[in-house]
Amino acid sequence: MNAIQTMQGRFASAEEFSQALSQGGWLTNFQQLDCGSGGAGFAVVKSDAAMLQHVTFERSVRQLVCPLPDHHNFGILSGPSSVAKMGHRQLNSEAINCFHEEEGFEAVSKPGFTAYTLSFKKSRVAELAHNLGFVNPADDTDLRGADMVPDPEHLVAVRAKMRQRSVFSNSMGLNRQGLSGLQELLELELPALVLGSFRHANLMKCIPPQNRARALKRALDFIDAHPREALTVEDLCIESASSLSTLERAFREQYGVSPKRFILLQRLHHVRRVLLHQAESRKIFEIANEYGFWHMSKFAADYKNVFGELPSQTLKGLRPLSNHAYVA
């Protein structure tokens, strides 16, 4: 018998959420882009062959994600009120996004974002596709990183299955028969619906403006390679071989903030991650100095402005995560 596992949690910050979500197998790095406190949450149901996740963000968040290996991974916005960009394209609430397993993805979501992700083992999908006469996604490289727009009624059916109350809010009360039904939903009904969506669907891909995309990538790579340095925008211009106006436009289009603000946010996030995982024996000013913050009063003010709490409050640690396992 396969185990059905459920995990759910609410967290005070994107970093805490990222750490908890990674327990499910996805490699994630979530970074808050706007100011103020705001939570994030998820509910997960998984078996040996499939995983269904529902995620919510109250703040604007940069999402760096590597999906489950050896799985076909898909994303679906909860509805039109969920707004996000992936690269240079706006995500379509009427589409199923096909994630690229090897490359992962980067997305920027607006406050109030909610979405589902679906992961199905490739061997299980290949078997279903063969038995049902559907196309195997592994045989169609055009699907990778594309938006698939199915018939509207088909997407309604997929969302209805994902929203079944037993999946996210009533699994603890299910008996053996109910758990078996939940496993059938994860491993048969949902993948069959997604495979059926491929028929007569329109594929949409976006080619980004090459100059700005190239400049942005070089700037991001440089920032990632120098996390402990107080870089300037001029440093990024030199490294990316681009003008200030090009970088300004690229960062504002992608993240909604200036390059200078983005650099500050990255350094603050690095400090926050260290504070969340280190013993209290290390002084806050030592950690701040390590990432180029030398004026402690300004550092504390910037930190509180972004995260809604002082660095000393972050040291109190993570909020608990509920994790329950059931056998079907």
pLDDT score, position 114? 95
179 Cβ contact list (under 8 Å, min separation 6)? 4, 171, 326, 327, 328
pLDDT score, position 101? 74
Residue type, position 234, single letter: E
β-partners of residue 105 are 65
pLDDT score, position 209? 62
pLDDT score, position 2? 59
- Residue 298's SS3 state is helix
- Residue 172's SS3 state is helix
Distance CA 195, CA 173 (A): 30
- Name the helix (H) or strand (E) containing 264: helix 259-277
pLDDT score, position 56? 93
What does the DSSP assignment read for 65-100?
A: EE--TTEEEEEEESSTT--EEETTEEPPTTSEEE--
Distance CA 18, CA 26 (A): 9
Structure tokens at 323: 């994790």
pLDDT score, position 169? 46
β-partners of residue 62 are 31, 108
CA 122 to chain centre: 21
CA-angle at 214, arms to 74 and 144, nearest 5°: 20
From first to last of its 328 residues, the chain has per-residue pLDDT tens of 457 888 888 888 888 888 887 776 788 899 999 988 778 988 888 899 999 999 999 999 999 999 888 999 999 999 888 999 887 788 889 999 888 777 788 999 999 999 999 999 999 999 999 898 888 888 877 677 778 888 888 899 999 988 875 455 455 555 666 677 788 889 999 999 999 888 777 766 655 567 788 899 999 999 999 999 999 999 999 999 999 999 999 999 899 999 999 999 999 999 999 998 876 578 899 999 999 999 999 999 999 999 989 999 888 764 444 444 444 4
- The answer to whether 267 touches 306, Cβ cutoff 8 Å, is no
Residue type, position 31, single letter: Q
pLDDT score, position 84? 92
The conformation of residue 241, written as its DSSP 8-state character, comes to T
CA 297 to chain centre: 32
Distance CA 159, CA 11 (A): 25
- The answer to whether 255 touches 262, Cβ cutoff 8 Å, is yes
| pTM for this entry | 0.83
- The answer to whether 271 touches 312, Cβ cutoff 8 Å, is no
pLDDT score, position 176? 66
Domains annotated on the chain, with CATH: 3-207+321-327 (2.60.120.10), 210-314 (1.10.10.60)
- Name the helix (H) or strand (E) containing 61: strand 61-66
pLDDT score, position 13? 81
